[in-house]
Chains A and B, each alone.
Chain A
Amino acid sequence: MSETLSNTKTMNMIEAIRDAHDVAMERDDDVVVFGEDAGYFGGVFRCTAGLQEKYGTSRCFDAPIAESGIVGAGIGMAAYGLKPVIEIQFADYITPAYDQISQEAARIRYRSNGQFTCPIVIRTPTGGGIYGGQTHSQSPEAIFTHVTGLKVLIPSNPYDAKGLLIAAIEDPDPVIILEPKRLYNGPFEGYHDRALKGWKDHEDGQVPEGYYTVEIGKAKTVRAGNAVTVLCYGNMVHVCQAAQEEAGVDAEIIDLRSLLPLDLEAIETSVKKTGRCVIVHEATKTCGYGAELMALVQERCFYHLEAPITRVTGWDTPYPHAQEWTYFPGPTRVAAALKKVVEAK
């Protein structure tokens, strides 16, 4: 770490993502970036700012408002030999492209027996906590983790966001990266009434300049502990850290980072050590990704469990506007669950 420290720079998540594009485009002429407003303007969140100016309109360009066309064209480009990096403006608007993603991108290698492949990356801002209401706040990861042939990633900080994006661009399979937009400008612990902290004081806001990758399929233990294992990702990594402090529980907090493939080894090792498990995500509960995590922990750690596995998630409703903080699984709800699971006999 000390070696790379001299080359690091404070970046927020937007700058880290922008930088990942820049590094990948510089290294490989086949990387092309496009999406709605992603070209001249540099994206509504600025994640592709300056790329068109630096690499030209044939490497970074704007697209029509047509998600299926965007992904479909990307699949064709990948079949030709390019490495398209696509932006879907909000994860809520990825559903028009679901056919192209789930039936095409995910299946092309399999159905052609390896003759054709689909090395595309689809980035899309996800999650709530921003008063985005029903169509700017959803967390649709479970509709992609159910699709065999895809990889699904979700970073929780600038360091991982850059390293995972570069790894995804180099990956030979289609990758979807869900970027928690609530974290773009700073870590958010779920205390909406407190001032926002920036990334400059956060360890993972120190981002190496130049090329590096974060391995796909590897989780990260953000806090070691012995009382309970907390499985979380995205926004909830920060919420769970705050909840741990609030509850005063010696929790082991694991940021999954990669939902598909999943770091089962890290999960199993931790739960077998702690004997207890809390799963936290922002997405709605029923058939959410938490259900899969719960099933896996039950299958693999049953004889080590000392309490029922518990989920803290968004409610089974569309994401509301006015009731944002009743919906959002904040530190108070998570802390209560941690205490309950630790105290369970």
Chain B
Amino acid sequence: MTDQRDQGRGFRVPKPPARPGETPDFSGINLGEPGKLPLLDAEAPVEAFEPFHHDLLRVLDMDGKAHGDWAGLVTDDDKKTALKAMIRTRAFDARMMRAQRQGKTSFYMQCLGEEAIAVGATLATRDGDMQFPTYRQQGILFAKGVDPEVMMNQIYSNRKDPLQGKQLPVLYSFKEYGFFTISGNLGTQWPQAVGWAMASAIKNDDKIAVAYIGDGATAEGDWHQGNLFASVYRAPVLLCVVNNQWAISTTAAFAGADKNTFAARMASYGLPALRVDGNDLLAVLAACRLSAQRARAGLGAVGIEFLTYRRGAHSTSDDPTKYRAKEEVEGWPLGDPIDRLKQHMIVTGLMTADEIDTLEKDAETEMREAENRAEENGLVHAGQGAEPAAMFEGVYAEMPGRLREQMKEAGF
């Protein structure tokens, strides 16, 4: 991007493609070409990954046609399963955005435009693997079949909240679905995922971990340390950087994205790394499937940068019109992941437009009904939250004496 040299001697502050009122320019991003990069063998040497550090692994073109050998790693059933999970993810987000506006919850974060990444990566995992998500991988839960009512109970901090009202909305934990407890502290899950994978390797297990991080959070020290540990100990983990161009109001350039790709930076730790079209479900799933095979074979971690765009606001507390051009969303050259997969299904005759339409309507109905049920379990803002006394439980395996005293003091 453009350097701003208007203040200080050589001092530079990165500038986004466009501020409000300006015309976005994405010409600096290497978008590659669908089908151009050769399929890798799961046991390929690290050097074979080099072309993938700066080029872009793509399968679908912008007309919905699949190209190249990577397409062979994705079945028709995968595509149907993924489309349904992505549609349900988006319907859930839409429902919860509305619920926040109606005052039913204090907070929500959507993943609009990034649905293919979490859904695709999850389809490459098996039961028993562990995902270490950020707050923007709710697609994992739809790919794994979690009941949306239970997620909403968490968002409403109500009587049936599985976390008993202790955690902020969307900071889920679903151990039985291989979904690690989300932390508000960015980047911490990255070395934790690596450690989980190290444990699997120590125990001679074939389970793998999947780590997620956003572009902005790669600036945290934990990203560097996690990359290093994954490389040093050859841990079976997929290291997924979701580069959606924005960290709240700052562009990925503040995390160094305009100096080198995240894929190339992970490669500099000695990791094989791929840069992948994050809005192309086929490319996402193919890249993750190959990486998972590699990790399960004992060949260690793979770093994957998913190029995508954060279409929505950062959170319900954010207004992106204050810092970026509205035209960016439609101008993003890799389009929308659901539209692209839908188009692929139609042009290849896998599904008709009517069938997809039915899927979308069904998802809307499902989420509306789930919301009604969750609402019956209470809303924290209506004074129907989780049991107050539960607040004191679970700090330790056993409640210490002084906490018991405080619980009594609080009236329980």
Q: Which residues from chain A sit less than 8 Å from chain B, CB to CB?
A: 32, 58-59, 64, 66, 68-69, 72-77, 79-82, 84, 96, 99-100, 103-104, 107-117, 148-149, 151, 172-173, 217, 261-262, 264
On whether the beta carbons of B226 and A109 are closer than 8 Å, the reply is no
**Could you say which residues of chain B place their CB within 8 Å of the CB of A117?**
397
Q: Which residues from chain B sit less than 8 Å from chain A, CB to CB?
A: 130, 132, 162-164, 166-167, 171, 173-175, 180-181, 183-185, 188, 190-203, 209, 221-222, 225-226, 228-229, 232, 394-397, 400-402
**Could you say which residues of chain B place their CB within 8 Å of the CB of A113?**
162-164, 166-167, 173, 394
**Could you say which residues of chain B place their CB within 8 Å of the CB of A108?**
181
**Could you say which residues of chain B place their CB within 8 Å of the CB of A68?**
191, 221-222, 225
On whether the beta carbons of A76 and B396 are closer than 8 Å, the reply is no
Pick 22 A–B contacts, CB within 8 A, sort by A: A69-B226, A69-B229, A72-B194, A73-B191, A75-B191, A76-B197, A76-B209, A79-B130, A79-B180, A81-B199, A82-B199, A111-B166, A111-B167, A111-B183, A112-B175, A115-B173, A115-B174, A116-B180, A116-B181, A149-B395, A151-B396, A172-B397
A112 to B401, CA, bound (A): 22
**Could you say which residues of chain B place their CB within 8 Å of the CB of A75?**
191-192, 195
**Could you say which residues of chain A place their CB within 8 Å of the CB of B173?**
111-113, 115-116
On whether the beta carbons of A109 and B209 are closer than 8 Å, the reply is no
On whether the beta carbons of B401 and A261 are closer than 8 Å, the reply is yes
On whether the beta carbons of B226 and A80 are closer than 8 Å, the reply is no
Q: How far is the CB of B204 from chain A (nearest CB, A)?
A: 9
On whether the beta carbons of B191 and A76 are closer than 8 Å, the reply is yes
**Could you say which residues of chain B place their CB within 8 Å of the CB of A58?**
201-202
**Could you say which residues of chain B place their CB within 8 Å of the CB of A76?**
132, 191-199, 209
**Could you say which residues of chain B place their CB within 8 Å of the CB of A104?**
183, 185, 188, 192
Q: Which one of B195, B198, B397 has the greatest number of beta carbons of chain A within 10 Å?
A: B195
The chain A residue with its CB closest to the CB of B165 is A113
Given contacts A76-B197, A79-B196, A173-B397, 14 further A-B contacts (CB under 8 A): A69-B222, A69-B225, A69-B229, A72-B225, A75-B195, A76-B199, A76-B209, A77-B196, A80-B203, A100-B222, A113-B163, A116-B181, A148-B395, A151-B396
A151 to B193, CA, bound (A): 24
A100 to B220, CA, bound (A): 12
Q: Which one of A32, A75, A79, A113 has the greatest number of beta carbons of chain B within 10 Å?
A: A113
On whether the beta carbons of B221 and A96 are closer than 8 Å, the reply is yes
On whether the beta carbons of A149 and B199 are closer than 8 Å, the reply is no
The chain B residue with its CB closest to the CB of A72 is B191
A72 to B196, CA, bound (A): 10
On whether the beta carbons of A72 and B397 are closer than 8 Å, the reply is no
